[in-house]
Structure 1
Amino acid sequence: MIIMSRFNTVLARNTKNAPMAMGPYSQTVAFSHYNNLSAQLPVDPMTGKLVAGGAKEQAERCFKNIEAIVESIGHAMDDVIRITIFLKNISDIDVVNQVYSRYFQGYAPALTVAAVAALPQNALVQVEALLSNGEGTIPDAPQAGDLVKIASNTNHAPLSPLSTQSVAFSHYNNLSAQLPIDPESGRLVAGGAREQAAQCLRNIRAILENIAVPFDDIVKVNIFLKNLSDIESVNEACRACFPDSAIARAVAYVPARTVVEVSGLPMGALVQIEAVVSHGDGTPPQAVEDRHGIVIRAHDTENAPRCALSTQAVAFSHYSHLSAQLPLSAASDELVAGGVKEQAGQCLNNIKAIVESTGHLMSDVVKVNVFLKNIADIDAVDEVYASFFPGGVPARRTVGVAALPRGAMIQIDAVVANAEGTPPKA
């Protein structure tokens, strides 16, 4: 067991100025230099109900809720590193972007936008934020509160006035989700899912080269697919990129991964890929001697399902990112028998096995992402979920999807606190 007293601790907080959680989760969970916010629905905190109106009014309420949470913990919207917007209808993207842009003038965070099959409470919009936390979470010992974020763009990848390609803070870079756009023409590349995935990955590579970060510093990729049946074509493009360097090939390193079927993507794309990237150099004023040499630590255990295309858990500095877990038995690699409760339990048992194999506990989980084949199953899932998180601490996002790999009813991934950090090179 890891003794947490000398280290950053998991800090969950809630405010009455935003909707209280409709399940066993917290509005925001801070650990080290990041705040992980639960996805916000367009719910009025005074009434507990969805606001009247369409996508524009719902988007406005989502951002008001985020702003209320951010301000309740002594931060400002300028501290937002990444925004993720899920829509019920991709056709609402323009009106939602109009609302979004009012909250970020001058600085635009990294951004991901996708339409999904369903959202909780039949909402049209759901918005999630990742926030910097310069003061850290060591009890009674504020850290470098003057850390700065570094926003970077390059002409060698698609540019957008609504987002920054890469936003670094402390030891992580968060990249905007990349569409299969040729940066020279500004149009989608010709071809199918394989060609589009390859262009997404080329755009990610160009962004990383612009900030002098190697491709193998990616710790997590999230792949959004219009048609889950295209996954093998996308896998071909991924195999061509991971592992990338001789060092990574020597240890067969591949990042953690989540694959999500979506109902629509901007510009009618078939594929969109976002990446979370290590940033060993840190951001100023971290001293050079304190920030060089932190290593990625990839980990697999036989007690959870394994996949050649992803690593179960990839730790860097004070966070560990887990690949999405399906309700598969580690012993048989088959879906467990039963309904959504049994499948949810298996997903969470797989996460628990991975977390414990790294010397951590489920109480170290700071963020959970739940993908449901049937959004109406959310209450049944919460019955199981609460037994794994009795304090309801992790922040959470829940979306409905039309299909999941292996015909599963549910898929869950997680972000875990890694208080001990990862060691510098010898």
Structure 2
Amino acid sequence: MTSKKLNSVLARNTENAPQSIGKYSQTVAFSHYNNLSAQLPIDPKSGKLVTGGVKEQAEQCFKNIKVILESINHVMNDVVKITVFVKDIKDIDAVDQVYAAFFSTYVPARTVVAVADLPKDALVQIEALVSNGEGTIPNAPQAGDLIKLANNTARAPLSTLSAQTVAFSHYNNLSAQLPIDPKTGRLITGGVKEQAGQCLKNIKAILESIDVPFDDIVKVNIFLKNLSDSEAVNEVYATFFPDSAIARAVAYVPARTTVAASALLMDALVQIEAVVSHGDGTPPQAIEDRHGIVIKATNSENAPKCSLSTQSVAFSHYNHISAQLPLDPKTGEKIVGGVKEQTEQCLKNIEAILENIDHGMEDVIKVNIFLKNVSDIDAVDEVYKTFFPKGIPARRIVGVTNILKDALVQIDVVVANAEGTPPNR
């Protein structure tokens, strides 16, 4: 596919930001989004963690993001979504003081989660999803008039530090929703089932406020304080998906990733975020026929299946892949072996999913790796570089307290979809 009418994967790096620890790019653009690798508090000159506490580290993370954006002619106000990983949830107030200085006039959608560990023993790691108004069609800048649309509704919890949803081009990116009653601003009473229900109700209220159906969700990320609560959350989840007669007819469920959090804001038991299709794009471009771009959900027999998630959900120019565990697709059981073997199986499952939709690993633009032991990074990278020899995708690595099926590693990816998703293609 070399036609000038097609978007291309554009990986870029600058010497003014930390060089990658492993084979990945600082930012990878495709179509109307730039996907940045998660930034650690590393001084780009020394290649080492900055001295100081969490405030100094958070500031360095944001400085690194800002420098990367400047290198591709973008600014902080082009950030659509921020994800903050901290080792100690109590540090978030200090991080927020720094955060507010970088987003003084506009606040993006946001997710905050405490995890068990971060690379280089950092206290904080921050990643950004950024608009790319000019698109990535070679020699043909496009859609320079697209704008961000940040929306809030009183029917869902409000925050001065984040917009509930930020739309750009054909996607809405929602802030992670906590189980907060929007009327009181407090956590609801009850256990994890009640909390999961409230998170999903808040997401639904946000989508209704922007006239977007619940079944336009293409990817869901669930953060659990106790991974053992996953079955209880699944019971509630199944009552929300599918949401419409059309979705029920085809048994549509979004792609999904479940992550063990060491702690969540307000001491919540669960937090849920959603990535949502935006059929009419963002004006001032002409409003498109909502049926001109469709959601395409696909499963392959050559990768593990789950009744609560679809392996790949494509919309417009992106494919969202459910997190892959090191499961043998034939048996559904975890494979035998250590972290190397498990990493290889996760990536084989991803490769099989992509081959099933006529894509390949070279179309991957972002990789998210969750490790039981962050010290396994080097072993993971030995396998990783055989699947990504050019090291193009942007990347995030976090350490978690536990992984489903007691796995050592879990991987999900975001993939380019050059042909888009018009009907009958």
Instruction: Please indicate the TM-score interval, normalised by the length of the shorter structure.
Output: over 0.9
1:310 maps onto 2:291 in alignment: no
Deviation, structure 1 residue 292: 5.1
CA offset at residue 309 of structure 1? 0.4
Please tell me whether residue 201 in structure 1 is matched to residue 205 in structure 2. Answer: no
Contact (CA 8 Å) 1:282, 1:291: kept in 2 or not? Answer: no
SS of the residue corresponding to residue 234 of structure 1 reads helix
Q: In the alignment, which residue of structure 2 is the partner of 1:141?
A: 140
Q: CA deviation at 1:3?
A: 5.4
- Contact preservation (8 Å) 1:115, 1:263: yes
Query: In structure 1, what is the equivalent of residue 45 of structure 2?
Result: 46
Alignment of 1:157-236 (within 5 A): 157-236=156-235
Map of 1:417 onto structure 2: 416
Q: What is the match of residue 404 of structure 1?
A: 403
* Match in the other structure for 2:346: 347
1:293 Cα shift? 2.9
Most deviating of 328-337 and 153-162: 328-337
Shift of residue 406, structure 1, vs aligned partner: 0.3
Q: In 2, are the aligned partners of 1:295 and 1:425 still within 8 Å (CA)?
A: no
User: Aligned partners of 2:208, 2:177: CA distance in 1, in Å?
Assistant: 15
Kept in 1, the 8 Å contact 2:4–2:139? The answer is no
> What is the CA–CA distance in structure 2 between the aligned matches of 1:347 and 1:364, rounded to whole Å?
17
1:107 aligns with 2:109: no
Moved more, 235-244 or 288-297: 288-297
Deviations 1:137-186 (A, max 9, x none): 00000011121010000000000000000000000000000000000011
Contact residue 293 and residue 425 of structure 1 kept, 8 A = no
Verify the 8 A CA contact 1:281 1:292 in the aligned structure 2: no
Work out the CA distance in 2 between the residues paired with 1:223 and 1:288.
32
| 1:344-363 Cα distance to aligned partner (Å, 9 max, x none) | 00000000000111001110
Q: Are 1:305 and 1:333, in contact at CA under 8 Å, matched by a contact in 2?
A: yes
For the residue of structure 1 that corresponds to 2:35, the secondary structure is: strand
Indicate conservation of the 8 Å contact 1:180/1:188, yes or no. yes
Which residue matches 2:54? 55
**Partner of residue 16, structure 1:** 15
Deviations 1:261-318, CA, capped at 9 Å, x for gaps:
0101000000000000000010012222466531100000000000000000000000
In the alignment, the residues of structure 1 paired with residue 364 and residue 285 of structure 2 have an alpha-carbon distance, to the nearest angstrom, of: 26
Note the C-alpha offset of 1:6: 3.3
Say if 1:4 and 1:419, in contact at 8 Å, map to a contact too. Answer: no
- Measured in 1, the distance between the counterparts of 2:38 and 2:233 equals 27
TM-score normalised per structure 2: 0.99
Distance in 1, Cα, partners of 2:108 & 2:240: 26
Matched residues in 2 for 1:290 and 1:218: separation? Answer: 18
Q: Return the alpha-carbon distance in structure 1 between the equivalents of residues 4 and 321 of structure 2.
A: 24
> CA 1:59 to 1:85, structure 2 compared with 1: closer, same or farther past 3 Å?
same
Deviation at 1:241, TM superposition (A): 0.1
Once residues 277 and 140 of structure 1 are traced to their aligned partners in structure 2, the CA distance between those partners, rounded to angstroms, is 29
- Gapped regions of structure 2 (runs ≥ 5): none
Aligned residue type for 1:176: S
Distance in 1 of aligned mates of 2:383 and 2:405? 21
1:33 and 2:1 matched: no
Which amino acid is 2:198 matched to?
A: Q
SS at match of 1:380: helix
User: Between Structure 1 and Structure 2, how many residues are aligned?
Assistant: 425
Q: Deviations over 1:361-418 (max 9, x none)?
A: 1100000000000000000000000000000000000000010000000000000000
**SS at the partner of 1:43?**
coil
Instruction: Supply the distance in 1 between the matched residues of 2:2 and 2:303 (Cα, whole angstroms).
Output: 25
Q: Does 1:82 align with 2:81?
A: yes
The offset of 1:236, in angstroms, is 1.0
Q: 1:119 to 1:4 in 2, by over 3 A?
A: farther
CA distance in structure 2 between the aligned counterparts of 1:144 and 1:289, rounded to whole angstroms: 14
Distance 2:424 2:166 in 1: 25
Aligned pair in 2 of structure 1 residues 112, 4: CA closer, same or farther (>3 Å)? farther
C-alpha separation between the residues in 2 aligned to 1:308 and 1:278? 21
8 Å Cα contact 2:279/2:288 also seen in 1: no
Q: Distance in 2 between matches of 1:3 and 1:330?
A: 34
Q: State the TM-score, normalized to the length of structure 1.
A: 0.98
Runs of 4+ in structure 1 off by over 6 angstroms are none
* Helix, strand or coil at the partner of 1:203: helix
CA distance in 1, matches of 2:387, 2:260: 26
What's the counterpart of residue 6 of structure 1?
A: 5
1:131 maps to 130
1:50 counterpart letter in structure 2: L
1:356 matched residue in structure 2: 355
SS of residue in 2 equivalent to 1:393: coil
Distance 1:189 1:425 in 2: 44
* Long gaps (5+) in structure 1: none
Residue 330 of structure 1 is matched in structure 2 by: 329
